A and B are shown apart, each in its own frame.
Chain A
């Protein structure tokens, strides 16, 4: 799955 690996959590 090509969901972007975002580190948007603390």
Chain B
């Protein structure tokens, strides 16, 4: 574990917590893409499938973190699609998730390190996570604005994988550990946040709200 991965995981936890708090406190999921949250839940379940298969009772932080990620993302989907369904902005959350899931699944079958079920599921989860934020960014571009709290969520979510890139550089240099698939997908994922990062740094930091030119 290095400082980059530690802060990356903390940033990821913060993102999940910020979103849960926003929905719970405002009792509304306006401006939140339910599809992105569903895709994240699928990512966690397919990536941490080993938790369900051989549930090793030894409780270390990694197992606890995985359980937190899965339960928090499933609970977030429950809030969006059931509890606060009335506030879900379905017509703006209109990016076809199939266009992200099918290519990720296809690519996972073509480009992977080992052709076995667990590895394919893990690879699918990595590819899907890289594009899972697209419905959320698409929704913001359709509504033309993002609530400040949602911007903080996106900033934390984008920073997590950006910090992981630093972690991979660190591990390559000091541990000669490299996982090309995760690195390439992580770079693509972070690039997708670039224009949002620019808006966040130039606007939200100064206390303004993000409003996109309609």
Contact = CB atoms under 8 A, between A and B. Distances in A.
Contacts of B114: 5
A3 to B, nearest CB: 7
Interface in A1-10: 3, 5, 7-10
The size class of the interface chain B forms with chain A is 10 to 19
Interface in B5-22: 5, 9, 12
B12 A10 contact: yes
A10 B65 contact: yes
A9 B176 contact: no
Given A3-B176, A5-B113, A10 B69 contact: yes
Contacts of A7: 122
Interface centre among A3, A8, A9 (most CB of B within 10 A): A9
Contacts of B65: 10
Given A3-B176, A3-B177, A9 B122 contact: no
B153 interface: no
A-B pairs, top 3 by smallest CB distance, nearest first, are A5-B113, A10-B9, A10-B65
